[in-house]
Amino acid sequence: MAPTRPARPSAVPLIPTGDEGPRADASEAKGLGETRLGRLEGCADRFRSAQAGMSRVRWGMIGCGAVTEVKSGPGLYKADRSSLLAVTSIDAAMTASFAERHHVPRTYDTVAGLLADPDLDAVYIATPPASHRPLALEVARAGKHVYVEKPMALRFGECQEIIDACDAAGVTLFVAYYRRAMPRFLQVRSWIEEGAIGEVRTVRAVQHQPPAPEDLSPETLPWRLKPEVAGGGKFLDMAIHTIDILDFLFGPVTGVQGIASNQGGLYEVEDTVNAVWRHESGVQGYGSWCYVAGEGQDQVEIVGSKGRIEMEFFSDRPLRLITAGSVREVDIANPAHVQQPFIQTIVDELTGTGRCPGDAASAARASRFMDAVLADYRREKGF
């Protein structure tokens, strides 16, 4: 039997937005003009599965699109003590093609069919965000552990529903904030923990991009820019990874203020966002995200009392540690399948041999940050 381990604390600090449904404990910070810390009760006990004594994880997968081809799908069958047993999607030809290319032994025409497979221990949901909540609830009800793509759901309130459903079903919930297990981000975390830049004071995140060709016409607009499918634009789709890593490095965000607008007029969702925030640890942050810029930029800069760290967040260019006038560049290649190290930690946790560095609460906090920044914009636009 696998070892039993202590459950994580169930009270989780989050940012209320006023847009999250009845479960949230929201309070406005008087005078600061920022949204402040609240508490969320009732996160899944993540160690029940370890107590159940599972020795390997047999995965089912819902959706077999872009993210599954290289980033995640192979990670499910290449991780130790892990196999990808079954796949389904709404496109039967796509399902069959994925199964053939990746040697997945079972395919199903429907989600219900896959969930009825008694040999599956856990199900990875890799579909567009609007389907995450209903699918996660179905997977939980079927008694399978849930690994859902980011963002966990369209809004924080939906994340809470998923957390509650997993709790009620006694299954463990994981969300694909996989950078928490990627070597380059672990290097940054080590530098911070070792005090290489002293006390961290402030962090700056910038992502600016020109529009992609498919953004230019309603006929070619990707689902990522449709509010009913994605819940927001590229800010929600991509910047949420950065916000999650900053939570990993500096702890929960306790207050945030943001401005979102659409300046390019290419689509309905936001294309430009600026925000300032603070972490529970005292670190302050500010960010700028613009997806209708003339020139691209991708930068995270962490400033401490003795130096700073500079990196590109979405590329694998060298990290730069700048202290006392010296610059050290460290080149850390990304894994072939970027989700594989994170998937390994999920498998380790489910089999009682380790612990995943992200959890449902941290993933819900990322969604809540996004809700807070986008609240006014969504209200104005009516979605």
Binding site for ligand NAD (CB under 6 A): 62-68, 71, 89-91, 94, 111, 126-129, 131, 149-150, 176, 237
Q: Cβ of residue 51: shortest distance to ligand NAD, in angstroms?
A: 29
- Kindly report the number of other CB atoms within 10 A of residue 358's CB atom: 24
Q: How far is the CB of 345 from ligand NAD (least distance, A)?
A: 15
Closer Cβ to ligand NAD, 77 or 178, answer by number: 178
CB closer to ligand NAD out of 226 and 308: 226
Residue 1 or 66 having the CB closest to ligand NAD: 66
Helix axes 132-141, 156-169, angle to 10 degrees: 10
In terms of CB distance, is 16 or 358 closer to ligand NAD? Answer: 358
Q: In the complex, which residue's CB is closest to ligand NAD?
A: 65
Q: Based on CB atoms, which residue is closest to ligand NAD, 68 or 262?
A: 68
CB of 294 vs ligand NAD, minimal distance in Å: 25
Smallest distance from the beta carbon of 177 to ligand NAD, in angstroms? Answer: 8
Q: How many other C-beta atoms are found inside a 10 Å radius of the C-beta of residue 58? A: 18
- If the CB atoms of residues 65 and 354 are measured against ligand NAD, the closer one turns out to be 65
- Between the CA atoms of 270, 273, 276 and 278, what dihedral angle is there, to the nearest 10 degrees? 50
| CB of residue 122 to ligand NAD, shortest distance in Å | 17
Q: Could you tell me the smallest distance in angstroms from the CB atom of residue 261 to ligand NAD?
A: 23
